[in-house]
Chains A and B, each alone.
Chain A
Amino acid sequence: GQQVMQIPQYQHVQEGEDFTTYCNSSTTLSNIQWYKQRPGGHPVFLIQLVKSGEVKKQKRLTFQFGEAKKNSSLHITATQTTDVGTYFCAGLNNNDMRFGAGTRLTVKP
């Protein structure tokens, strides 16, 4: 079955440093979504990517979808303490959505 792998599992950065999390699927995806879960909170939808090679930006966050629609990345420029949380990707294939394991980001002020 479909598997979605996400790395790294943890990332600790100094405030102001950049951060990237990567997501890879074993199958070609219809779309990929990204979620953020603050400590003690629930996952919150950030963005959805549909097209091959698509790039979307939300302020300091840049999301990319690979040409083969099997991988994706989330890059945060100049992290802030408000970026703390776990970032999950979720890949959709044939109405089957699978979440990655998540990358837990901590930011040192």
Chain B
Amino acid sequence: SAVISQKPSRDICQRGTSLTIQCQVDSQVTMMFWYRQQPGQSLTLIATANQGSEATYESGFVIDKFPISRPNLTFSTLTVSNMSPEDSSIYLCSVEGDSSYEQYFGPGTRLTVT
């Protein structure tokens, strides 16, 4: 399984500002995924990021609010723009396993917007 790190692990931000979350994988992967998990809730897919192409966003998520970069096969960033308290959540990146569709998650970024 891949080893995934995320930065920052947590942050407290003021409304109206933006935060960029970084996700680093120890091996090259084609697809990377960004999820949001609100406290005590399930995981909601924000977008899928393939290297060399635009990210694909799920219903309810737009590029202007959650721009994603995927500059190479081991790295991705998710920006939460113009934050409001409703954006307070845990943001997780994940990658697929080598041989099937299982997902390996990073440790997450806990974001609090005041």
Contacts and interface: CB of A to CB of B under 8 A. Distances in A.
B102 A45 contact: yes
Interface stretch (A57-65, A74-82, A98-106): A98-106
Contact of B108 (A33, A42, A90, A101): A42
27 contacts: A30-B101, A31-B101, A33-B102, A33-B103, A41-B107, A42-B92, A42-B105, A42-B106, A42-B107, A43-B43, A43-B92, A43-B103, A43-B105, A45-B97, A45-B102, A48-B100, A48-B102, A88-B42, A90-B103, A92-B101, A97-B101, A99-B43, A99-B44, A101-B42, A102-B41, A102-B42, A104-B40
A48 B106 CA distance: 19
A45 B42 contact: no
Interface of B: 1, 40-45, 92, 97, 100-108
Nearest to B100: A48
Nearest to A43: B105
Interface of A: 30-31, 33, 35, 41-45, 48, 88, 90, 92, 97, 99-102, 104
Contact of B45 (A31, A35, A97, A104): A97
Nearest to B96: A97
Q: Which of A42, A45, A88, A100 has the most chain B CB atoms closer than 10 A to its own CB?
A: A42
A48 B104 contact: no
Nearest to A4: B42
Nearest to B90: A42
A97 B101 CA distance: 9
A104 B45 CA distance: 20
A97 B58 CA distance: 11
Contacts of A90: 103
Nearest to B1: A45
Given A42-B92, A90-B103, A97-B45, 19 more contacts: A30-B101, A31-B101, A33-B101, A33-B103, A35-B103, A41-B107, A42-B105, A42-B106, A43-B103, A43-B105, A45-B97, A45-B104, A48-B100, A48-B102, A88-B42, A88-B43, A97-B101, A99-B44, A100-B42
